[in-house]
Amino acid sequence: MPLSTAQAISAPDKRKNGPKHTPTQFAFSALTGVSPYLAGRLATFFWYRTQHRPVTVDEQRVLERATTEVRKFANKSVCIYRWGKGAPVLLTHGWNGNAGQMTLLVEALVARGFQVTAFDAPGHGHSSGNSTDILEISDLITQLLQESDEDMAVVAHSFGGMCAMHAIANGARANSVVCISPPRDVTTLLQQFIKILGMDSAVVNQLKHRLEMRFGEAMWSRLSMQEWVSAADIPGLIIHDSRDRYIPVSNGRAVHTAWKNSELQITRGLGHMRILQSTEVITCIERFLTKSSQ
């Protein structure tokens, strides 16, 4: 999904001389002039393409303390990590992230008496592959939730929140969900993707056509966090930063409005990624999960 390209391709450089285009945007513009069809195929490739973000030394230290399982899933190998004992919690990273990004939260929750499961999604972290989509990640989440002896809580970041709520909307069971920086729907992701690549309408139409072939023509209304949470009968916590450049805070507010049994916490100055390392955010999540598990 789009955040892969957001990390792989720098945003337009806005300096004194006005906005400048990235090499990829120039390439898309040139290719569009020759063949919108080919440009659409390239855009579709980028849409599904993932990157394996390396883990830091501190992140690896926490991962090495986990009980690690490598299992076959959808013709790929995925890594699953488990720590501690107690009420079960599933951590779900975002697009182009990995389990290592959430290790500060892992340590805090284990110390609080939770059993924590995390994973590297297909095409991410130590798992194999270079592409995936919401359906594949959602299926993995469903599998992990169904394997638990008791209903799990879920803490999900960004696109991981969409995947988790898609799984729950399609029958997977959880007792509560924390969504950090969630997009409200797939249209939000498409709009971001268009800006990053500088696509014109002809290429966008080609991309949308190919996505609809995969997910169905109704995907633009069907792949919606707002729709899924409106039917959710479990408590939720939405945490979003007011200065999130990738997924604007209006998305978190919209998800909260649609989710009757939810709380909303707005942070300031943490952006889209540093929010995962915030002591304030981690404490907020600990309190919510402790209350939900009682």
Sorted by where each begins, the domain ranges of the chain are 3-48+190-215, 65-187+228-293
Question: What does the alpha-carbon distance between residue 28 and residue 293 come to, in Å, rounded to a whole number?
Answer: 50
Residue 277 CB partners (closer than 8 Å, separation 6+): 104
Query: Are 196 and 47 within 8 A, CB to CB?
Result: no
Given this model, what pLDDT does residue 13 score? 40
Query: Are 266 and 240 within 8 A, CB to CB?
Result: yes
Q: What is the mean pLDDT of residues 192-199?
A: 87
Give residue 196's Cα distance to chain centre.
Answer: 18
Residue 90 CB partners (closer than 8 Å, separation 6+): 117, 118, 141, 144, 145, 152, 153, 154, 155, 164, 174
Q: What is the mean pLDDT of residues 97-106?
A: 97
Residue 21: which pLDDT band, with cuts at 50, 70 and 90?
low
Asked if the model's pLDDT at residue 195 lies above 90, the reply is no
Phi/psi at 44 (nearest 5 deg)? -65, -40
DSSP letter at 5?
H
Query: What would the two tokens of residue 275 be?
Result: 């929010």
Question: What are the percentages of helix, strand and coil residues in the chain, rounded to 5?
Answer: 50, 20, 30
Instruction: Mean pLDDT check: name the lowest of 27-41, 76-90, 95-109, 167-181.
Output: 27-41
User: Closest Cα partner for 239 from 264, 222, 219, 259?
Assistant: 264
Question: What does the alpha-carbon distance between residue 180 and residue 244 come to, in Å, rounded to a whole number?
Answer: 11
pLDDT digits 0-9 by tens, 57-97: 999 999 999 999 999 999 999 999 999 999 999 999 999 99
**Residue with more model confidence, 136 or 10:** 136
Bridge partners for 177 per DSSP? 154, 236
Given this model, what pLDDT does residue 11 score? 35
Structure pTM? Answer: 0.91
Question: Yes or no: is domain 65-187+228-293 CATH 3.40.50.1820?
Answer: yes
**Residue with more model confidence, 115 or 292:** 115
User: Closest Cα partner for 145 from 164, 120, 121?
Assistant: 164
Asked if the model's pLDDT at residue 243 lies above 90, the reply is yes
How does the average pLDDT of the chain come out, rounded?
A: 91
Given this model, what pLDDT does residue 20 score? 57
Instruction: Mean pLDDT check: name the lowest of 25-39, 175-189, 233-247, 250-264.
Output: 25-39
Q: What is the mean pLDDT of residues 124-147?
A: 97
- Strands 114-120 and 76-83 come out as antiparallel
**Residue with more model confidence, 133 or 24:** 133
